[in-house]
Structure 1
Amino acid sequence: MKKSLRHRIVRSLTCTALAAGMVATAQAGQLSIGHTTWVGYGTLYLARDLGYFKDAGLDLELTTIEEASMYMAAQASGKLSGSASTIDEILKYRSKDFCFKAVAALDESHGGDGLVVSKDIADIKGLKGKPVAVNEGSVSQFWLSYLLKRQGMTMADVEVQNMTADDAASAFIAGRVPAAVTWEPNLTTVKQKGAGNVLVDSSTTPGVIVDVVALGCDVIEKQPEDVKALVAGLYKAVEYTKTHPKEAYEIMAKGVGGYLSKPEDLAEAAKGVRFYDQAMSEKLLGVPGQSGDIAGIISLANETWSSLQGKPYTVKYEDLVDTRFVKP
């Protein structure tokens, strides 16, 4: 579903206005992060609202922006310190002129994303030649490409219908497409309505859809103590979630808001993610002198986006990850 020229212009103007209205960053003791509405970003709000950041001298501003291109534009212009996003998503924006690096791991999708199909499709190979609703250029397309590749297929083997994850779910439930890539709570809705089956979800692809906090390189160099406070606060928030899940989800829901504004909805969505504690973060991001598992995801993202977008992506692990803060 192609966007109209008018829609693209409006989006561009909205992005410009948003960036212009934000407060410039790179002030000691302050960080600002843009993100979409996603359960995995709940620990940022939890650490903030429990005072973990403030106790360490950090004032964290969190801004919900539902378009990756918009929060990355705001970060590029210096209106945001960084973003919370999937590693494959931000990789596409990294260049010699736009320097940022992942400093903290947040979560991985572990059942929160999925591929829904009509009941006559039994496996991935059954998608061949059929329309699939998926948001082009997003993590959903990245993940679908990964699923297809595991079966010896490519995106050329399916008929892509470009639409957002929510629109994809709606189109599928309405019977307009036989398959769609979407996420919670849409996966649950599909099952409740008996509209089809969740053929595969992200619990079968651990460590592929991973969210990180990426900060501008100038911010990292000028505000290392704030970065340390950010990482340490996130670790504390994850531990709090382990021991006080009910209270944690109530705080997260209030902060994240949107379709996750009810604690019970956020708690349900949290079943589809794994929040990264220190040990998991060290394994994913690596530590000084030793690369982590994320190096493989970066390599996969380079290969995938180069193929899908017809231009070379050659972002290196050291270009995209700063391991100095993984161990507090």
Structure 2
Amino acid sequence: MKIRTIVTWFTLFFVSLTIAVSCTPATDVSTSESPSTTAVQMGFSAWPGWFPWQIAEEEQLFAANDVKVDLKWFDGYLDSINALAAGQLDANTQTLNDTISSVAAGSDQVIVLVNDNSTGNDKIIVREEINDIKDLQGKTVAVEAGTVDHFLLLLGLEKAGLSPDDVEIKPLETGAASAAFVAGQVDAVGVFAPFTTKALERPGSKELFSSKDFPGAIPDHLVVSRQMLEERPEAVQALVNTWFDTLDFMNENSDKSLQILAKRAGVTVDEYKDYDAGTTIFSIEDNLAAFEPGDDMTSLPYAAQEISTFLVENGLIEQAPDLDKLLDDRFVKAYAEKQKT
């Protein structure tokens, strides 16, 4: 199972296939307008903050919001990134990092919803003798190159005054990286849940740091193509409405929801419960606050600028993209207004 990738050379290839951006002005959002009968092609993949979309499908919450959705599961998150960039999807679940990387490579994508923040489910796990980030110097770290956990590793190294050259990166797919760490072949590993559970099976292993130590650095989103946004804003609104209806369903039907989430994740209900604290699901209030300008990483406009700069400085993208049209909060605002009536 591949995971949440922030940049890859393959992405650059697929982005080149993207259809040229429409110059049509954005259509005003109307919550009363009925979406087209054409199905929205939407991708999602393995991450606790995105599994709730499975509930939306199984409980027919898309249909309840008058939108037809062809929800496509991707075992490989990278495949979903490429599919959106190539115009094969209208919407996809992606991190802020990935979306910035795709936009930098030429794809016109828009973030319309915050699903969650990673608050501990992305981890750097180390062997027994490593007790400080500076102890990583000269050590071998297994991580899927270009993934969010690679990004997390770089954040930790920078915080400790180290550079990427101070460690030896062993590039492995995340499942393989976890297995290599458990087998004692590397000193540390960057993984996310559920691979964190596997990695911690190594005797003496422990978490060195996690996404919890970098609040707001790894937000996860619903991202749509510019074409989808401009041609079918009513369908985008329906997707956003469905997300919040799904959260309501989960609150009212916790046992049934956990069964669906655990099954989609391929773990037991008890194992899934262990991941809860590591992913903070965003409510409508959280969304409204996140889209506001601010001076720390809890603000999406601020976080986008900081992450863009970080990606350039670390050679993960060639140049910073124009972020002026990356975020569109019209849909969460429209949902919030509807709840007041």
Interval containing the TM-score (normalised by the shorter chain) = 0.7 to 0.9
Q: State the match for 2:299 in structure 1.
A: 293
Deviates more, 1:305-314 or 1:107-116: 305-314
Any conservation in 2 of the 1:28–1:223 contact (CA below 8 Å)? no
| Residue in structure 2 matching 1:89, options 86, 98, 101 | 98
* 1:81–1:325 CA distance, 2 compared to 1 (3 A): same
Residue-by-residue CA offset, 1:273-317 (whole Å, 9 max, x unaligned):
111110111122339xxx971123212321222133365331344
* TM-score, structure 1 as length reference: 0.83
1:85 Cα deviation from its structure 2 partner: 1.3
Residue-by-residue CA offset, 1:79-131 (whole Å, 9 max, x unaligned):
21121011101211115852110111111112211111111111111111211
Q: Counterpart of 1:82 in structure 2: which amino acid?
A: A
Matches within 5 A, 1:97-116: 97-116=106-125
Q: Counterpart of 2:248 in structure 1: which amino acid?
A: E
Any conservation in 1 of the 2:85–2:102 contact (CA below 8 Å)? no
Q: State the match for 1:206 in structure 2.
A: 215
Q: Structure 2 CA distance, aligned partners of 1:326 and 1:48?
A: 20
| Residue in structure 2 matching 1:274, options 280, 292, 309 | 280
1:68 Cα deviation from its structure 2 partner: 4.2
Any conservation in 2 of the 1:30–1:226 contact (CA below 8 Å)? no
Q: State the match for 1:284 in structure 2.
A: 290
Q: Structure 2 CA distance, aligned partners of 1:189 and 1:311?
A: 31
Q: Report the secondary structure of 1:319's partner residue.
A: coil
Q: State the match for 2:330 in structure 1.
A: 324
Q: State the match for 2:225 in structure 1.
A: 216
Count of residues in correspondence between the two structures? 302
Q: Report the secondary structure of 2:102's partner residue.
A: coil
Any conservation in 1 of the 2:37–2:68 contact (CA below 8 Å)? no
Matches within 5 A, 1:1-328: 28=37, 30-95=39-104, 97-254=106-263, 256-257=264-265, 259-260=266-267, 262-286=268-292, 293-309=299-315, 311-327=317-333, 328=335
Any conservation in 1 of the 2:140–2:186 contact (CA below 8 Å)? yes
Any conservation in 2 of the 1:239–1:277 contact (CA below 8 Å)? no
Q: Counterpart of 2:271 in structure 1: which amino acid?
A: D
Q: Structure 2 CA distance, aligned partners of 1:310 and 1:269?
A: 29
Q: Report the secondary structure of 2:320's partner residue.
A: coil
Residue-by-residue CA offset, 1:14-68 (whole Å, 9 max, x unaligned):
x9xxx9xxxxxx9555322223222211221222322322111112222222444
Q: Report the secondary structure of 1:46's partner residue.
A: helix
Q: Structure 2 CA distance, aligned partners of 1:192 and 1:78?
A: 41
Q: Can you give the 5+ residue segments of structure 2 that lack an aligned partner in the other structure?
A: 1-9, 19-34, 336-341
Q: Structure 2 CA distance, aligned partners of 1:193 and 1:311?
A: 34
Provide the alpha-carbon RMSD of the alignment. Answer: 2.7
1:193 Cα deviation from its structure 2 partner: 4.2
Residue-by-residue CA offset, 1:143-192 (whole Å, 9 max, x unaligned):
11111111222212211111122211111111111111012223233334
Any conservation in 1 of the 2:312–2:319 contact (CA below 8 Å)? yes
* 1:98–1:310 CA distance, 2 compared to 1 (3 A): closer
* TM-score, structure 2 as length reference: 0.80
1:203 Cα deviation from its structure 2 partner: 2.1
Residue-by-residue CA offset, 1:204-262 (whole Å, 9 max, x unaligned):
222211110110011011111111111111112223333432221122334x35x34x4
Q: Can you give the 5+ residue segments of structure 1 that lack an aligned partner in the other structure?
A: 1-10, 20-25
Q: Report the secondary structure of 2:275's partner residue.
A: helix
Q: Counterpart of 1:121 in structure 2: which amino acid?
A: I
Any conservation in 2 of the 1:142–1:301 contact (CA below 8 Å)? no
Any conservation in 2 of the 1:298–1:315 contact (CA below 8 Å)? no
Identical counterparts, % of pairs? 23
Q: Structure 2 CA distance, aligned partners of 1:203 and 1:272?
A: 8
* 1:154–1:167 CA distance, 2 compared to 1 (3 A): same
* 1:141–1:64 CA distance, 2 compared to 1 (3 A): same
Q: Counterpart of 1:179 in structure 2: which amino acid?
A: A
* 1:184–1:69 CA distance, 2 compared to 1 (3 A): closer
Q: Report the secondary structure of 1:39's partner residue.
A: coil
Q: State the match for 1:8 in structure 2.
A: none
Deviates more, 1:238-247 or 1:208-217: 238-247
Q: Report the secondary structure of 1:211's partner residue.
A: strand
Q: Structure 1 CA distance, aligned partners of 2:301 and 2:129?
A: 38
